[in-house]
Amino acid sequence: MIRVINALLAIIGGVGAALLLYWVLNKLVEMLPQKWEERLKPWVFAGVALAAIGLFLIYPAVRTFVLSFANATSTAWVGLENYTDLLTSRDFQITLGNTLLWIAVVPAVTVVLGLAVATLADRLGPRGEKLTKSAIFLPLAISGVGAATIWRFIYEARPAGETQIGLLNAVWTALGFDPVAWLTVDTLRFNSFLLMVVVIWGQVGFSMVLLSAAVKGVPVDTLEAARIDGANERQIFFRVTVPQIWGTVITVFITVLITTLKAFDIVFVMTNGNFNTDIIAVRFFNELFRNGDNGRAAAIVVMLMIAVLPVVAYQVRHFRAEEAAR
């Protein structure tokens, strides 16, 4: 109860403080001549957000970039040593390979499954559609740590002869096989794919919601015209529906891609990057908080930012192109 009260007080206090701040700023601007009021009022309201972005986003990013050229304790400059050490390290190369694998698999599978659910659920009738979409969207409300804990129980392995509390091993042993420690099987990155399943399970609901809205927005006239021309349902879907919602597909893909690049909690909770499952975000955490190497940790973050920037730039250009076409 105390935690609930603290949370409510924090919400009320935060919202109340924000409202009070903007009310005071608005009153101060209204005291100026009308000409200056019209000029300054937009900047006053936007200035708070810009100041917060500068203080909590831009300054830390610049500071991190600077520290990436320093030693582990940030007391001396080492140039590009942190970058060369990381890129020539076999462990970090495995980390990069795993991250690239996540980028290649998770966004694509998430979009495909989300689009499939968004399309097929419409054919279940109003009640069936609501029930199906609610069940698939529900994992999105679970935190990454909570989802990782749930799936750790699914992948849990006990020695042969003991009761298997993990769902996967319970089924596996019921079929007559010995229990398998699934998260330690790194053959062909099998355990990494098992971790990806958790992320996909949590993100399909997000993909489904946006793509479902896009599918429902496709003009019925174009679908009817395709049917009159003799197109079957598969041809209508790929040649009529998908091209008209392609902008939303790209947006969802890029959003999930950025989420994948920042993935941390699921891998950290389930394997902590062991058994060749390490990814960029987990490696950064371990370098900073376990190894105490500020320089390497900063270099990893810089590389992650460099990887994300082209994706963000493409998304901005794509959004502007869509707005210009309307």
List the chain domain ranges: 1-67, 79-325
Q: Determine the pLDDT at residue 295.
A: 94
- pTM for the model stands at 0.85
The residue with tokens 């601007």 is 29
Give the residues of the chain that fall short of pLDDT 50: none
- pLDDT for the residue 285: 93
Q: Domain spanning 79-325: which CATH class is it, in words?
A: mainly alpha
Quick one: how far is CA 137 from the chain centroid?
15
What was the pLDDT predicted at 326? 67
pLDDT in tens, 269-312: 999 999 999 999 999 999 999 999 999 999 999 998 888 888 88
